[in-house]
Structure 1
């Protein structure tokens, strides 16, 4: 890896921490800006480095550094209902990078890649939340209730921020590729 790659990967891991701390508490799933930064990581760094930045973020939290939303940290966060979103950030960033890497960086291509990654992030987070609530925490919730809690309040914000991420990526990608 080049120094530039290491620096950009570390920068996006740090931005994830910022995104976690820029949060608005809601009853079960806090509103954060992590999906925005994960989307940017995939779009700007590509599949491997974008996912690596997210994996570094995850590992920092799992070893006990309070980088997750609300200052959460440590291996016990794995059983927190929202941990699936954190896993989804890595997979989503990878998918975004893969979908964008060999295409022209048009707003349309970037938007399609970012929305696809966002869908993966939501899928991971929602399914994980469902299983943790129902089988680990023994707090039965139907899938429609989980969607109402985990998706409905946030989807418009994330779609709008996806457009912002695509616009930023369109402007910044030429400079990063030089």
Structure 2
């Protein structure tokens, strides 16, 4: 895939927006509530599968290099944080959302919302599984899978479905305009 300057700017922009979403957070338990999923969802919808994937890879890569763009900083040691799995989930989420939406000739609320919910589900599966493993194996915290779900998914379902709804509604206006103007 050959990227032009516009593509590179858009990829960097969505990586930056995801980083900004990490700073807008409410610390509750092991997993803080943030706006990262909002921008991850937009990256898949607006950029498509490959560029959305690249934007989230760039975001995670920058954080792993030591730039403090994650909710709790950055650096290679972040892979041992219980929340790192959600970052991996964002990468897959952006790709899946983009892939499913790219196939649609016309955007409707449901054909944007349902891929977002699938991407969110993937993020939760990867995030909760990773958190469970890090807490139990690395940190020695005895937590059941139900406890991990209760800490890492349950409190976030309603807000994340809200973000998915917002992305789906606004994308119906934003995406056609961006296409018309030649930005995507």
TM-score band w.r.t. shorter chain: over 0.9
Which one is further off, 166-175 or 112-121? Answer: 166-175
- Deviation above 4 Å: which 4+ runs of structure 1? none
1:85 aligns with 2:86: yes
Q: CA deviation at 1:140?
A: 1.3
Q: CA deviation at 1:176?
A: 2.5
Q: CA deviation at 1:3?
A: 2.1
1:32 aligns with 2:34: yes
Please name the residue that 1:47 is paired with: 49
Distance in 2 separating the partners of 1:5 and 1:44: 11
Distance in 1 separating the partners of 2:10 and 2:177: 13
| Root-mean-square deviation over aligned CA pairs | 0.9
Q: CA deviation at 1:106?
A: 1.1
Match among 129, 132, 135 for residue 134 of structure 2: 132
Q: CA deviation at 1:11?
A: 0.7
Distance in 2 separating the partners of 1:133 and 1:122: 16
- Unpaired runs of at least 5, structure 1: none
Secondary structure of residue in 1 paired with 2:25? coil
Distance in 2 separating the partners of 1:151 and 1:108: 23
In the TM superposition, 1:5-24 aligns within 5 A as: 5-24=7-26
Match among 135, 155, 162 for residue 160 of structure 1: 162
User: For 1:45-97, what per-residue CA distance to the aligned partner results, in whole angstroms no more than 9, with x for missing partners?
Assistant: 00000010000000100001010103x11100001000000010010000000
Distance in 2 separating the partners of 1:44 and 1:168: 11
Distance in 2 separating the partners of 1:29 and 1:142: 16
Which one is further off, 3-12 or 77-86? Answer: 3-12
- Unpaired runs of at least 5, structure 2: none
Secondary structure of residue in 2 paired with 1:69? coil
Distance in 2 separating the partners of 1:36 and 1:89: 10
Secondary structure of residue in 1 paired with 2:26? coil
Please name the residue that 1:98 is paired with: 99
Distance in 2 separating the partners of 1:167 and 1:12: 19
